[in-house]
């Protein structure tokens, strides 16, 4: 049965199909009967998931697409709910679901990471967080977009060398502005087979009105960013930056893999720069939901550009290199245990 273990999710028995559908629309119950898939249904969000042999189809009433294995979008489709409670799919949605469910079960342990997307935040006209500090009478300005680009490029080089057969993608490799849609498009451009997964690593630096705030931290994504994960005290809203990407993945929960990936990256960073930058830990909400997915994603906040001492570290190429290495080691450990 479904792997979702939250109170919100209940398994419902759909109203029996009476055969009244027109030539276009197919009742959900028919698809379930014919494929043997299991259904989990969230009545609150009107969102459901069909699962069979490790394959998954997510859908939401009124949303014109369905999502196969958390990565492949089929659109446009029709997903509607009739007044009698029946959920109906358009014919093309039914076909996509049935084709997916014909695929053999993916044996545990055979999943492999096919692609790693490294997403340095901001860029170009969007500097991200800015730190202004005076050292020995000299003003030094530190921009988040520069810090994260350096670390991202270092990470890219390490991963590229270690994994020549994987797709390693930087959303930007220069100081240029990318729209949110642009980042989303890059994430969506990766084609995955059913036993392949993609890692998404967004890199940012923090800012705070409190100049004493310091340390690196890691957020699990995709998350409940819509449910106020963003700290209202922070100057930047980095989670909002990647919201459209997360949205495109139609994820509502944290994933087991995201948590593991975040933990590995945390250990990696701690090992490399733990003596210099405090570990603020992993960010989570107490009520979060964990499930299996193929899109582990995290957002790393490297440190605070607004902290005078930390800005010195974030400006130093030696430390930025160490940070790339720390994140790299974390990702490598994650992949080895995936």
Pairing, β 254-255 against β 290-291: parallel
119 binds Zn ion (CB under 5 A): no
> For residue 121, what are the CA distances in angstroms to 22, 26, 220?
48, 43, 16
In angstroms, what is the minimal distance from the CB of 301 to Zn ion? 8
Q: What is the C-alpha to C-alpha distance for residues 116 and 167, in angstroms, rounded to an integer?
A: 6
In angstroms, what is the minimal distance from the CB of 304 to Zn ion? 12
* Of the candidates 285, 286, 266, 283, the residue with the CA atom closest to the CA atom of residue 274: 266
Q: What is the C-alpha to C-alpha distance for residues 332 and 338, in angstroms, rounded to an integer?
A: 10
Nearer to Zn ion, 103 or 231 (CB): 231
What SS3 class is residue 107?
coil
In angstroms, what is the minimal distance from the CB of 205 to Zn ion? 6
214 binds Zn ion (CB under 5 A): no
Nearer to Zn ion, 35 or 234 (CB): 234
Region binding Zn ion by CB under 5 A among candidate stretches 235-243, 249-257, 266-274, 311-319: 235-243
Give the binding-site size for Zn ion (rule: CB under 5 A).
5
**Contact with Zn ion (CB under 5 A) among 27, 121, 154, 326:** 121
In angstroms, what is the minimal distance from the CB of 144 to Zn ion? 5
Q: Which residues contact 267 (CB under 8 A, 6 or more apart)?
A: 329, 330, 333
Nearer to Zn ion, 47 or 265 (CB): 265
246 touches 223 (CB < 8 A):
yes
Look up residue 159 and give its two tokens.
């991963």
Nearer to Zn ion, 194 or 234 (CB): 234
Q: Which parts of 269-328 interact with Zn ion (CB under 5 A)?
A: none
In angstroms, what is the minimal distance from the CB of 237 to Zn ion? 8
CB neighbour class for 230 (10 Å; exposed up to 12, middle 13-18, buried from 19): middle
Nearer to Zn ion, 4 or 201 (CB): 201
Nearer to Zn ion, 121 or 131 (CB): 121
The 3-state DSSP composition of the chain as helix, strand, coil percent (nearest 5) reads 30, 30, 40
In angstroms, what is the minimal distance from the CB of 145 to Zn ion? 8
128 binds Zn ion (CB under 5 A): yes
Region binding Zn ion by CB under 5 A among candidate stretches 165-173, 234-242, 286-294, 308-316: 234-242
Nearer to Zn ion, 159 or 300 (CB): 300
Q: Which residue is nearest to Zn ion (CB)?
A: 204
> For residue 46, what are the CA distances in angstroms to 38, 40, 147, 274, 320?
16, 11, 41, 44, 44
Site string for Zn ion, 170-209 (x = CB under 5 A): ----------------------------------x-----
In angstroms, what is the minimal distance from the CB of 121 to Zn ion? 4
Q: What is the C-alpha to C-alpha distance for residues 239 and 234, in angstroms, rounded to an integer?
A: 11
Q: What is the C-alpha to C-alpha distance for residues 89 and 303, in angstroms, rounded to an integer?
A: 47
> For residue 10, what are the CA distances in angstroms to 39, 96, 311?
9, 25, 49
Q: What is the C-alpha to C-alpha distance for residues 226 and 244, in angstroms, rounded to an integer?
A: 11
Nearer to Zn ion, 88 or 239 (CB): 239
238 binds Zn ion (CB under 5 A): yes
Nearer to Zn ion, 234 or 264 (CB): 234
* Residues at the contact surface with Zn ion, assessed by CB under 5 A: 121, 128, 204, 236, 238
């Amino acid at each position: 049965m479904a792997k979702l273990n939250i109170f919100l999710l209940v398994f419902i028995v759909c109203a029996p199909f009476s055969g009244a559908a027109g030539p276009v629309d197919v009742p959900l119950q028919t698809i379930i009967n014919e494929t043997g898939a299991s259904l989990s249904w969230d009545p609150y969000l009107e969102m459901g998931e069909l699962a069979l042999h490790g394959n998954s189809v997510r859908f939401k009433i009124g949303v014109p697409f369905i999502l196969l294995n958390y990565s492949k979008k089929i659109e446009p489709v029709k997903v509607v709910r009739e007044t009698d409670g029946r959920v109906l799919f358009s014919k093309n949605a039914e076909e996509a679901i049935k084709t997916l469910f014909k695929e053999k079960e993916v044996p545990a342990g055979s999943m492999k990471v096919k692609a790693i997307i490294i997403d340095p935040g901001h860029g170009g006209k969007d500097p991200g967080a800015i730190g202004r500090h005076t050292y020995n009478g000299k003003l030094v300005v530190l921009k988040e977009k520069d810090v994260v680009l350096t670390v991202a490029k270092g990470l890219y080089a390490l991963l590229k060398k270690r994994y020549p057969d994987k797709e390693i993608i930087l959303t930007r490799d220069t100081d240029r502005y990318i729209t949110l849609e642009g980042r989303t498009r890059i994430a969506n451009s990766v084609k995955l087979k059913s036993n392949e997964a993609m890692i998404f690593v967004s890199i940012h630096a923090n800012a705070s009105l409190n100049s004493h705030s310091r340390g690196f931290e890691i957020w699990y994504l995709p998350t409940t960013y819509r449910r106020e994960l963003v700290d209202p005290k922070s100057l930047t809203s980095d989670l909002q930056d990647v919201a459209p990407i997360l949205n495109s993945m139609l994820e509502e929960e944290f994933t087991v893999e995201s948590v593991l990936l975040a933990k590995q990256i945390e250990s990696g960073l701690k090992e490399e720069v733990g003596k210099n930058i405090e570990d603020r830990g992993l960010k989570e909400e107490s009520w979060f939901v964990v499930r299996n997915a193929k899109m582990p994603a995290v957002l790393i906040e490297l440190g605070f550009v607004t902290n005078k001492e930390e800005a010195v570290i974030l400006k130093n190429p030696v430390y930025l290199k160490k940070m790339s290495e720390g994140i790299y080691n974390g990702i490598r450990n994650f992949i080895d245990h995936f």
